[in-house]
Amino acid sequence: MQELLAYLQDPELVARFQRRCGLFLVGAAHPSRRRTGGHTGASVRAEGPRGQLRAVGQETNWLLHILFLFSAGLGHEIFYITCLPCIHWSLDPFLCRRLVNMWGLVMYIGQVMKDLLKLPRPVSPPVVKLETRVDAEYGLPSTHAMAATSISFTLLFSAPSRLQFQFEVGLLIAVTLSSLVCLSRLYTGMHSVLDVICGVVISAVILLLTYPCWETLDHLQLHTRISPIAVPALLLFLCYKYPDLDHYSTTRGDTTTILGACAGSSVGYWVNEQLGETFEPQGTLPVPLPTLTANALALCTGRFLVGVVALVGTRQIVKTTSLHVLYSWYRVPKNDHNARRRKEIEVPYKFTTYTAVGLVHSILTNRIFVLLGLL
């Protein structure tokens, strides 16, 4: 068993996968220089820590390169703040609520495990690393793999009672999306095979264990009087109790971002339930999937654009305001950007910012769509 685990953790296995996909290690470069590619493909710069040599890769299969970089982006904030809300705006708020709940649970468990186990990411060389932001984080489990698995299969398991669709097609889509995200973590050199497998397995176990409780949790979340107080308080407590490391890592901030969005959405969905305006599909469930016409596509695009502007605008306004208040409270110079890494500043500013984003997403956007004739 130890030999198998060591084999799956071996960075050479990741490097071999990269080479099979057309991404080759061609040398190392100083951070201020970029190596040019040969005639067989374009060069890609795989960055290392500031001031150190970093591996330089050369991709020869541009189609796979673009596919895997796009798939890797499905686990970043830009995807969560743009695409996930579309399920609420254009499909069914019920499904979006389920997704957000499971996303928050799975990601918190994955992030905490990562910082407790402290297993390193694949080393470079031999691996070509195409991302730098999360390189200071530990590797196992892959939270990209966990998020992709939980989101895809939560939607698959929840949708049959809400929407009419062929389950086999949904299963194929869920497996395809999850697989692409998992493989993208190998292609970008950010995780070992063991990291990805553990991420998928842990996420699957969480889904299986919680699935029988989903309806009970829905009822408690929407109909309990203390829900709008208890849920944000619990999530904020978990943010402050996040494991401390001996160096700065983005995991605590990312986890706070996710739990903040979950807190705001939970309160927002509770408010909608109390007001009797949930914006869920009308009629006998499961309802047919919306017909894709030119008019429906135009309305969907309009909702997407207005919604994203509302969420991004909320994010920028609340982030700037909360940082200004916290910097003043702790008497930190405004030009000290490293201060936002301090726990007493990072946790409240990120939690406040994304709680506001969750509230706007769940309460205001659909009402704005109604006023604008988009819903």
Query: pLDDT of 121-160, one tens digit each?
Result: 888 788 888 887 776 678 889 999 999 999 999 999 999 9
Considering 30, 65, 76, 191, which one is annotated as catalytic?
191
Q: Where do we find the tokens 């996930």?
A: 84
Distances 217 to 9, 97, 157, 272, 286 between C-alpha atoms, Å: 37, 11, 15, 17, 21
286 closest CA partner among 167, 366, 367, 177? 167
What is the CA angle 372-374-375, rounded to 5? 115
Considering 144, 219, 223, 361, which one is annotated as catalytic?
144
Give the global pTM.
0.88
Residue 27 pairs in a beta bridge with 56
Q: Known catalytic residue: 191? A: yes
Residues 158, 172: Cα–Cα separation, whole Å: 16
Q: Which of 45-54, 285-294, 314-323 has the highest mean pLDDT?
A: 314-323
Q: Known catalytic residue: 361? A: no
Query: pLDDT of 16-30, one tens digit each?
Result: 999 998 888 876 554
**Pairing relation of β-strands 42-45 and 54-59?**
antiparallel
So what's the pLDDT on residue 75?
77
What is the CA angle 49-50-51, rounded to 5? 115
So what's the pLDDT on residue 34?
42
Q: Where are the domains of the chain?
A: 224-273+293-375
Distances 149 to 82, 157, 204 between C-alpha atoms, Å: 19, 12, 7
